[in-house]
Amino acid sequence: MTRPRCGLGRAPLLRYAAGDTPMWTSWLQAIIRKRPTPERRSSRPGPRQSDARRFEELPDSLTKLDESYHALLRELAKR
């Protein structure tokens, strides 16, 4: 990123203190321009994708639960 010119020969902080903020505005515009495009954004793992890795869905009925839950009930019966 090219550092914006503050111009007029005044130090940036002095201009900022005086309420004349073109330099900061330019920096903000530069940051906004660097936001990812929709294409770049879609190629990144978004919250939904990472969420799918962190959580698993249960089936929609008790009868469809896998063998580990059947074993759980059988083992609890022994106690």
Partner 1 sequence: MRFVDLPRCVSVVFPFIHAHLSAHEPAPPYDEETEGLKALDTVLTLAREDRYYPTFAAKAAYLFCALAGAQHFTNGNKRLAVGVLLLFLVLNRAKVRTLSIEQHRDLVARRFPDHQWEPNPSIPGAHALFLYNLAIIAGDRPRWGVGDFPALRGRVERLFGYVYKVNGFATDQAA
Judged by the rule CB under 8 A, the positions of this chain that interact with partner 1 are 53-63, 65-79
Nearer to partner 1, 42 or 63 (CB): 63
- Smallest gap from Cβ 47 to partner 1, in A, equals 10
**First CA to last CA distance, the chain:** 68
- Smallest gap from Cβ 37 to partner 1, in A, equals 27
For residue 5, give Cα distances in angstroms to 16, 24, 28, 35, 53. 13, 10, 14, 22, 46
Nearer to partner 1, 18 or 73 (CB): 73
- Smallest gap from Cβ 61 to partner 1, in A, equals 6
Q: In whole angstroms, what is the distance from residue 59 CA to residue 48 CA? A: 19
